[in-house]
Amino acid sequence: MDKHPITKKTKTTMGKFTDIISNFLGSWTAVIFHLLWFSIWLVFNYDINILTFSVSLEAIFIGIFLLMASNKAEVVRDKKEERLRKNDRQRLEKDIKLDEKADRQLTEIKRIQKDLEQKVETIIKEIKKLQS
């Protein structure tokens, strides 16, 4: 029934590894690390083809890890929305029950009011009869 491959076991070893990698990639540490790495590579004039190849491979893996992190975030978001919908549904059901109760009470109040009106009219008629 689950739409996503990441379901109940969100803290597997691979899940933890993905969290670590994606947290690193989204940090200033990663920016500084790459800046230093590229600078050292260029300063020491290593083979640019190897650098291009390694950066291409890294980009592939970064894309995969970021998609995995995105999928995991979507699962978390879906679960949160499901909880919110459930809470909204419960609140709505409670509101409907309160509305129904209030409607019954208003109907009862109107009935009592009508009965009182009739009794008051009867009393007024009796008073008028007595006065005549």
Q: DSSP secondary structure string, 28-86? A: HHHHHHHHHHHHHHHHTT--HHHHHHHHHHHHHHHHHHHHHHHHHHHHHHHHHHHHHHH
> DSSP 3-state assignment of 9?
coil
Q: Which of 7-11, 13-17, 37-41, 52-56 has the lowest mean pLDDT?
A: 7-11
Q: Which residue has the tokens 């509101």?
A: 95
Q: What is the pLDDT of residue 131?
A: 86
Q: Which residue has the tokens 């970021």?
A: 66
Average the pLDDT over 33-49 and give the result: 89
| pTM, to two decimals | 0.54
Q: Is the pLDDT at 69 greater than 50, yes or no?
A: yes
Predicted confidence (pLDDT) per residue in 102-129, tens digit: 999 999 999 999 999 999 999 999 998 8
**Count of beta carbons in the 10 Å neighbourhood of residue 18:** 20
Q: What is the pLDDT of residue 4?
A: 46
Q: What is the pLDDT of residue 1?
A: 43
Query: How many residues are listed for the chain in this entry?
Result: 132
Instruction: State how far the Cα of 65 lies from the Cα of 70, in Å rounded to an integer.
Output: 8
Contact yes or no for 69/18 (Cβ under 8 A): yes
Q: Is the pLDDT at 2 greater than 60, yes or no?
A: no
Q: Is the pLDDT at 26 greater than 90, yes or no?
A: no
Q: What is the pLDDT of residue 9?
A: 52
